C-alpha cells in the first residue's frame, strides 16, 4: 500500500488529499497569544465559536474565512511559515519532511485515534463566545504533545 501522505510533497497533494492530511486535533482553531517581547506563542483552551468540539471540525468550513476574517487558511504555500502550528500537526510535520505519528488517522486507519490518544482538544476547550478577549490569558494551556 502506498503512503501518499509521506510520498508526495505538500504542493503535489490534491484538494481531497490536503484535507485528509488534517489529523482533526483542532488545535489550530484555538485562540493563541503572542508575547510582544520575544514572539513566543501561547495556546489557550479558548476555541473558535464555529468549531464543533465533539467532532473537532468547523461547523461551517466552506465559509470560515467569511465568518472569522482572521481565520488563517492552511495552504501548501504558507504552512512552512506557520511556526505556531502544534508540533504534532501533520501539515507542519510534512512541511519539515517528518513522518506522521502512529495515532494519525491516515496511519492508524481510525478517525478516532487522534481523540483516544489525547492529542485533540475534544472535551478540553471553551467557546470564545463565553470568554472576553481580555480574559484569554486566564485560559493559557500547556498540553503535552
Q: How far apart are the first and last CA of the chain?
A: 28
- Pick from 36-40, 61-65, 68-72, 127-131 the range whose average pLDDT is largest: 127-131
Domain ranges in the chain?
Answer: 4-139
Rounded to whole angstroms, the Cα distance separating 140 from 72 reads 20
Q: What is the pLDDT of residues 115-139, one digit of tens each?
A: 999 999 999 999 999 999 999 999 9
The model's pLDDT over 48-63, given as tens digits with 9 standing for 90+, comes to 999 999 999 999 999 9
Helix, strand, coil % in the chain, rounded to nearest 5: 35, 15, 50
CA distance 49 to 19: 21
pLDDT tens for 71-98 read 999 999 999 999 899 999 999 999 999 9
pTM, full prediction: 0.90
* Set of cell numbers at residue 95: 512541511
Residue 1: the pLDDT is 60
CB 122 within 8 A of CB 45: no
Query: Is beta strand 57-58 parallel, antiparallel or unpaired with respect to 51-52?
Result: antiparallel
pLDDT interval class at 113 (50, 70, 90): very high
**Cα–Cα distance for residue pair 120/75, rounded to 1 Å:** 21
Amino acid at each position: 500500500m502506498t503512503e501518499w501522505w509521506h510520498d508526495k510533497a505538500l504542493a503535489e497533494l490534491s484538494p481531497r488529499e490536503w484535507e485528509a492530511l488534517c489529523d482533526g486535533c483542532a488545535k489550530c482553531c484555538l485562540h493563541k497569544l503572542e508575547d510582544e517581547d520575544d514572539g513566543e506563542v501561547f495556546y489557550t483552551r479558548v476555541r473558535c465559536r464555529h468549531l464543533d468540539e465533539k467532532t473537532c471540525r468547523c461547523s461551517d468550513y466552506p465559509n470560515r474565512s467569511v465568518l472569522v476574517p482572521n481565520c488563517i487558511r492552511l495552504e501548501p504555500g504558507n504552512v512552512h511559515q506557520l511556526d505556531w502550528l502544534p508540533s504534532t500537526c501533520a501539515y507542519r510535520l510534512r512541511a519539515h519532511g517528518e513522518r506522521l505519528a502512529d495515532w494519525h488517522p491516515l496511519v492508524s486507519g481510525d478517525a478516532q485515534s487522534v481523540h483516544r490518544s489525547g492529542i485533540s482538544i475534544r472535551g478540553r476547550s471553551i467557546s470564545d463566545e463565553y470568554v472576553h478577549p481580555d480574559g484569554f490569558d486566564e485560559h493559557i494551556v500547556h498540553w503535552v504533545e
